[in-house]
Amino acid sequence: MKDYPLLDVRVSTPTLELRSATDELLDQLADVVRAGMTHADPAP
């Protein structure tokens, strides 16, 4: 990600953090989707 500095930007609040997708994070998301938790409460 060093070639694209904007991909290192994070926006954080006490209840939410937005950050760029990495292979590791996308793997975690795929597990959540496969488990059917896309409409879980609270959201993943």
In a domain, 44, yes or no: no
DSSP character at residue 38: T
40 in any annotated domain: no
| Chain segment 1-44, per-residue pLDDT in tens | 456 666 778 899 999 888 888 888 889 989 988 888 777 677 65
Domain hosting 12: range is 5-34
- pLDDT of res. 44: 57
In a domain, 30, yes or no: yes
Neighbours of 32 (CB within 10 A): 13
At residue 14, the pLDDT reads 93
Query: What is the C-alpha separation between 15 and 25, in angstroms, rounded?
Result: 18
- Segments of 1-44 assigned E as strands: 10-12, 17-19
Q: Is residue 9 part of a domain?
A: yes
The SS3 call for residue 36 is coil
Q: Residue 36: its pLDDT value, please?
A: 83
Domains: count for the chain: 1
pTM of the model: 0.51
Looking at residue 12, what is its pLDDT? 92
